[in-house]
Structures are given as structure tokens and as C-alpha cells.
């Protein structure tokens, strides 16, 4: 169990004021993201009425895109996913390029954390991750039985453009991100829920090759605790990481967010006009659709959280 008295940084001489933003470190905590997850379209961008350029300094500099001009925001979030992996169906995509999740949070008296989009509109960074095997691993034209369709496939897809990236994008507005800071700190329950879709990117796959969609997102309820997945997956555990502070910035380093009970739908829209040929090949290669118990998300990174008032004071 997380102990507020033992873990609150010693330089927080006014815990009451800090508590007004996060209801005390004991009651809540922001999450880490992902994401991603990821685990990366930034839907839910800030309203133009609130858009402004900010220049916080020192340890607050990372919050430059926090929606400081939005009066509803009383906290700023900056989270990095620096490692981990996504396992979807039969394919594993390692996270080798850092994902950034940022924005603001409105902590209410009712205890509901409301996520607010980053002021620059990029709540979740568009960070491609390389798919092992590339296009040659996804599209095998020789598997098409119809000779005319097979030749057409070979002419279009077997021409050397082999690299494929997977980019995890938000499949909803920033307000659809679910937060429970207390769960993150206490390593129990769901710390963050991300509705996502995965964009498979390659010039020959076209611009609409997605696993999941805005209307049917892949829900990722991530935890720093231990999962309870359906078979054949077995429980795995995350971690809140190390809690420290930089002036009045709450920092968690080395946190691990996990989930291995989500389902993944089939890919659609791959290959443009040839999607009727390519979708089945991609889905067969990736093992899609993939039911719950056959997929895993492991996101490793760090989180920073600060009151908007202190971020503004640093400018």
C-alpha cells in the first residue's frame, strides 16, 4: 500500500495546496502513457479559444504543451513510453522509439480525473514502430489461389518497398482517456484506459490500413498491478516505478503499465483498391481477429505531473 506520509517529497512544504490538484498523493495519481502504447493520432485537440504558446522553465519545461489557458485544467501531465512491446495475434512489435502522452487534467471534487488535450493538438505522439519482417512478412502473394489476382498482387506488392511501420493512434478525443492516479500508485485496478487503433503504414498498403477504428477502438485498460487474463495468457505484473520529485514536479521513473486481456479486431483497408485481396493476407499473417487472452501490451516509461499554477509561475 502506498504511504503518503512516507513518500511525499520533503520539499513539498504545502501539501494542502498540492492536494487541491491531485486530492493528495494518497488518493490519486496520474498515469503513464503509453502509450503505447504506444502505443497515434491526436484526436481531441485543444479549442482554438485556449490555444497559446507557453515557455515554462526548469523542471516545468516539459509541460510547454499543457493546456494552461484552459481554466478547467488544474494539473499538467507528461508521460513517456520508452520501451516494451505490443503482441497482437501472432505478431510482436517492440517499442523502440519513444511515445509521448501529454496534456492536462481536471481533478474534480467527485474524484473523476478528466483528461484535457495537449495545447498543440498532439496528445499522443505519432511515433511509428517497425514491424518485424516488413511487407514481405505481411503480404505473401503466392498464397492467392486465383492466378489473375495473384499476378496483380505480385505486380503491385513485390517491388522492393518492404518496410512497414505500426503507429498506435488515439481512437477518440482526449476526454476518452481514462485516468486513476491512485490505482497507478497503489498498483491495483486500472491506472489508464486508452482507446486506440493501429495504423499499418507502407506506401503500398495505402493510407487506410488499420487494426481498429474510431467506431470500434481497441480498448487498453492498463495497470501497474497484476492482470487476470483469460487463457491461454497468464497473469503479468506492472509497476509504479520509483517516486521522486523535482521541485514541485511529481516524477515516477521506471513504471510499467500492462494488459494482456484485450481483443484485437481484423485489419481493414489495406492495399487500397486491392484491400479485398490484401486484408485477408494481412489478417492471416497477424492472426487477426485475435480474441482476449492472445494479445499483450507492455509499456515501460516515466511520468511527470505538476500543478498548472506552478507551471505558469515558472514562465
Q: Domain residue spans in the chain?
A: 4-313
Neighbour-count burial of 2, counting CB atoms closer than 10 A to its CB (0-12 exposed, 13-18 middle, 19+ buried) = middle
Residue among 212, 192, 7 at smallest CA distance from 81: 192
- Sort strands 99-107 and 75-88 into parallel, antiparallel or unpaired: antiparallel
Residue among 202, 79, 66, 229 at smallest CA distance from 133: 202
What per-residue confidence (pLDDT) applies to 42? 29
Residues 252 and 238: beta-carbon distance below 8 Å: no
Nine-digit cell string for 62:
516539459
Enumerate the H helices of the chain as residue ranges.
Answer: 4-7, 15-22, 24-27, 134-138, 147-157, 181-186, 275-286, 308-313
Neighbour-count burial of 83, counting CB atoms closer than 10 A to its CB (0-12 exposed, 13-18 middle, 19+ buried) = middle
Residues 138 and 285: beta-carbon distance below 8 Å: yes
Q: Distance from first CA to last CA of the chain, Å, rounded?
A: 36
What per-residue confidence (pLDDT) applies to 179? 83
Residues 128 and 167: beta-carbon distance below 8 Å: yes
Residue among 285, 32, 19 at smallest CA distance from 138: 285
What per-residue confidence (pLDDT) applies to 15? 42
Alpha carbon distance 192, 180 (integer Å): 6
Which residues fall within 8 angstroms of residue 24, CB to CB, at 6 or more apart? 4, 15, 18
Which element (helix H / strand E) includes 301?
strand 296-307
Polymer length in residues for the chain: 315
Q: What is the mean pLDDT of the chain?
A: 83
Q: Which residues of the chain have pLDDT under 50?
A: 1-49
What per-residue confidence (pLDDT) applies to 200? 95
Amino acid at each position: 500500500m502506498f504511504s503518503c506520509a512516507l513518500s511525499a517529497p520533503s520539499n513539498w512544504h504545502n501539501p494542502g495546496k498540492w492536494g487541491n490538484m491531485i486530492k493528495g498523493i494518497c488518493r490519486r495519481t496520474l498515469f503513464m502513457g503509453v502509450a503505447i502504447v504506444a502505443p497515434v493520432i491526436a484526436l481531441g485537440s485543444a479549442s482554438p479559444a485556449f490555444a497559446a504558446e507557453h515557455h515554462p522553465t526548469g523542471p516545468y519545461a516539459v509541460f510547454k504543451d499543457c493546456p494552461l489557458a484552459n481554466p478547467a485544467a488544474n494539473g499538467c501531465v507528461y508521460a513517456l513510453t520508452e520501451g516494451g512491446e505490443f503482441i497482437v495475434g501472432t505478431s510482436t512489435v517492440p517499442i523502440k522509439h519513444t511515445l509521448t502522452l501529454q496534456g492536462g487534467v481536471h481533478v474534480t471534487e467527485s474524484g473523476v480525473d478528466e483528461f484535457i488535450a495537449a495545447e498543440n493538438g498532439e496528445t499522443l505522439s505519432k511515433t511509428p514502430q517497425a514491424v518485424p519482417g516488413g511487407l514481405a512478412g505481411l503480404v505473401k502473394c503466392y498464397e492467392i489461389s486465383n492466378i489473375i489476382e495473384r499476378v496483380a498482387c505480385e505486380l503491385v506488392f513485390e517491388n522492393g518497398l518492404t518496410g512497414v511501420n505500426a503507429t498506435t493512434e488515439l481512437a477518440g478525443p482526449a476526454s476518452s482517456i481514462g485516468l486513476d492516479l491512485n490505482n497507478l500508485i497503489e498498483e491495483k485496478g486500472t491506472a489508464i484506459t486508452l482507446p486506440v487503433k493501429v495504423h499499418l503504414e507502407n506506401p503500398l498498403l495505402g493510407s487506410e490500413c488499420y487494426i481498429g477504428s474510431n467506431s470500434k477502438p481497441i480498448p487498453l485498460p492498463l495497470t501497474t498491478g497484476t492482470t487476470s487474463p483469460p487463457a491461454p495468457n497468464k497473469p503479468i505484473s506492472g509497476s509504479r516505478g520509483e517516486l521522486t520529485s523535482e521541485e514541485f514536479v511529481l516524477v515516477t521513473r521506471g513504471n510499467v503499465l500492462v494488459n494482456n486481456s484485450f481483443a484485437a479486431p481484423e485489419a481493414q483497408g489495406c492495399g487500397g483498391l486491392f484491400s479485398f485481396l490484401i486484408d485477408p493476407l494481412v489478417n492471416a499473417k497477424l492472426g487477426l481477429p485475435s480474441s482476449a487472452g492472445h494479445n499483450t501490451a507492455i509499456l515501460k516509461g516515466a511520468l511527470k505531473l505538476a500543478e498548472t499554477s506552478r507551471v505558469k509561475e515558472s514562465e
